Chains A and B, each alone.
Chain A
Amino acid sequence: MSVSQTSFHSALLDASRPVPDGLQDANAAPAGRRFSVYRNNVAVSLTEAMHQAFPVITKLLGPQNMDGLAGIFLRQHPPSSPLMMFYGEDFPGFLAGMEQLSHLGYLADIARLELALRRAYHAADGHPIEPDALAIAPEDLMAAKLTLAPAVQVLRSDWPIFAIWQYNSQADAPKPQAGAQDVLITRPEYDPAPHLLPAGGADWIARIQDGQTIGAAFEATAAETPEFDLGTTLALLLQGGAITSVTIERLDT
Chain B
Amino acid sequence: MNKNKRLISGNEAIAEAAIMAGCRFYAGYPITPQNQIPEYMSWRMPEVNGVFLQAESELAAINMVFGASLTGTRAMTSSSSPGISLKQEGISYMAGCELPGVIVNIQRGGPGLGNIQGSQADYFQATKGGGHGDYRMPVLAPSTIPEAAELMMAAFDYADFYRTPVLLLSDGILGQMMEAVEFKEYKPIKKLVKKDWILDGARNRVPRSIFSLMTAPGALEKHNWKLLEKFSKMEKEVLSETYLAEDAEILVCAYGIMGRIGKAAIQMARKEGIKAGLFRPITLWPFDSKTASLYGSKAKKVLVVEQNLGQMVEDIKLAVEDSKKVFFHGRPGGGVASKEDLFEKIKELIK
Report whether chain A binds chain B.
no
